[in-house]
Amino acid sequence: MLVTIFVFNPFISGITMEYKQYVLDLFFSLLFLDYFLTESSRVKQGVFFAFWIFFSNVGLFFAAGFMLKEFLDFCGSKSEKSFLQVFGVFFRSIIPIFLSLIPYICYYVWFLNQDGAPELKAYMLVYWESAFIPLDSRLPMWILLQIHALYIYFFSSYEIVGLLMLLIAGFGFIGFVREYHGGQKTILNQAILLYLLVMGIHLSLSLMKMYPFSDRLYVYLAPLFCLLFGKGLQVVFRILFKGDDSRAMERISLVLLSAILAGFYLTYSFMYPGSMNEMMAEVKKDGDLKVFATSKAAWEVNDWDTFYTESFPGMDENPEVEVFRDEDLQSFPKKGYLISSQHLKFGHKGKRSNPESMVMTLDSLGYLQEMRSFGSYILYELK
């Protein structure tokens, strides 16, 4: 059942097909759960975190979350020793993990002292503004948008289905709290606690405007929502099915639910309207006009055109796309189309990434007229 959610989820699949650190966050978090969560050797865990941190900041979150989880376990353990003695034992046990953070801390201090670091930080604060927790009147709406993003991202973009799955995951959270508080520190409950602590660290950093909380940056949380949903199903099944045939009923229900969810995922249509093909069809309507693209969009358009030409021989050729350069500003007025790449920010209603500087310049000069958006692309008319 959980495999169905994880494997067929189109958003997770889309992220994992990109050669970026986000898929590594997901991979390393699963690897840690499978091999290192219950590993008795702190040295092995420290080496793993040192390696992970080399690739991604999320490794830091997990290292801190794991140390916090171990501290909570130490505090909750029954011992005749004093708190200071217990803390001393805990501290000695996490020294290898703490040492794994030092190289990154040194690098971070060095980076902050480099030329251009303050300017880069100022730019990123503006770029990721909507992904930081706002401490003003926008907070309630921000929370609602994040909850909405999380359940359609990790569960289902069909609203009712996603909400029902979120409700079941809520039962799972309640069941986890009761079990963990009751001393049932199973591997499943330890994994859920670790992810919750890591998520808390991520949100705390977002609150301090140190690390944004946004779609691809929290794809590593997918296992948490799968685990909570699975635990929620356990709670629901205990309520619904009782008696000698309860096991059989649970298995039948799991098979049916897996098939239904897989069906929803397979019939999923992307929430972003339009496509590259539709956009090129639009510019073909007037073959006499030139087609330009910003530097960011040009390589994407040309890559698609190469794929289109090689995969569909004999089809109508697409118009040649030229890169719009700074010097082209000197030869206006121009007539034609301009393609710009502005990615939609998932979970932030109506929010797109900032336009390229070229687009902002042309718009300020009154040379652009937006025609239509095609997914992550915007088609402008040059006038």
Can you give the pLDDT at residue 224?
A: 93
Q: What is the mean pLDDT of residues 249-272?
A: 69
If asked whether residues 353 and 252 sit together in one domain, one would say no
104 assigned to some structural domain: no
- Max Cα separation, the chain? 86
If asked whether residues 301 and 376 sit together in one domain, one would say yes
If asked whether residues 194 and 330 sit together in one domain, one would say no
50 assigned to some structural domain: no
Can you give the pLDDT at residue 345?
A: 52
374 assigned to some structural domain: yes
If asked whether residues 307 and 280 sit together in one domain, one would say yes
Per-residue pLDDT tens for 164-175? 989 999 999 999
Per-residue pLDDT tens for 305-321? 666 566 556 556 667 77
| pLDDT higher at 109 or 335 | 109
Task: Name the domain boundary from 225, 248, 266.
Answer: 266
If asked whether residues 148 and 176 sit together in one domain, one would say yes
53 assigned to some structural domain: no
Q: How far apart are CA 105 and CA 317, in angstroms?
A: 53
Q: How far apart are CA 314 and CA 301, in angstroms?
A: 19
Q: How far apart are CA 348 and CA 153, in angstroms?
A: 12
If asked whether residues 355 and 227 sit together in one domain, one would say no
If asked whether residues 262 and 280 sit together in one domain, one would say no
Total-model pTM? 0.71
Can you give the pLDDT at residue 269?
A: 45
333 assigned to some structural domain: yes
If asked whether residues 261 and 289 sit together in one domain, one would say no
Most confidently modeled of 52-61, 121-130, 189-198, 317-326? 189-198
253 assigned to some structural domain: yes
Can you give the pLDDT at residue 326?
A: 67
Can you give the pLDDT at residue 83?
A: 67
Report whether pLDDT(348) > 50: no
Can you give the pLDDT at residue 122?
A: 87
Q: How far apart are CA 270 and CA 275, in angstroms?
A: 10
Q: Which of 225, 228, 222 is nearest to 176 (CA)?
A: 228
Can you give the pLDDT at residue 167?
A: 93
- Out of 72-81, 251-260, 334-343, least confident range: 72-81
Q: What is the mean pLDDT of residues 226-255?
A: 82
Task: Name the domain boundary from 247, 266, 285.
Answer: 266
If asked whether residues 142 and 31 sit together in one domain, one would say yes
3-class secondary structure per residue, the chain: CHHHHHHHCHHHHHHHCCCCHHHHHHHHHHHHHHHHCCCCCHHHHHHHHHHHHCCCCHHHHHHHHHHHHHHHHHHHCCCCCCHHHHHHHHHHHHHHHHHHHHHHHHHHHHHHCCCCHHHHHHHHHHHCHHHCCCCCCCHHHHHHHHHHHHHHHHCCCCHHHHHHHHHHHHHHHHHHHHHHHCCCCCHHHHHHHHHHHHHHHHHHHHHCCCCCCCHHHHHHHHHHHHHHHHHHHHHHHHHHCCCCCHHHHHHHHHHHHHHHHHHHHHCCCCCCCCCHHHHHHHHHCCCCCEEEECHHHHHHHHHHHHHHHHHCCCCCCCCCEEECCHHHHHHCCCCEEEEEECCECCCCCCCECCCCHHHHHHHHCCCEEEEEEECCEEEEEEC
If asked whether residues 375 and 260 sit together in one domain, one would say no
Classify strands 321-323 and 336-341 as parallel, antiparallel or unpaired.
unpaired
52 assigned to some structural domain: no
| pLDDT higher at 207 or 92 | 207
If asked whether residues 226 and 301 sit together in one domain, one would say no
Per-residue pLDDT tens for 104-150? 889 888 988 888 888 888 888 888 888 899 988 889 998 998 898 88
Q: What is the mean pLDDT of residues 30-45?
A: 81
* Structure tokens that stand for 243 in this block: 């008696």
Number of domains making up the chain: 2
Task: Name the domain boundary from 239, 266, 293.
Answer: 266
If asked whether residues 233 and 289 sit together in one domain, one would say no
What is the span of the domain harbouring residue 130?
2-38+115-266
103 assigned to some structural domain: no
Can you give the pLDDT at residue 139?
A: 92
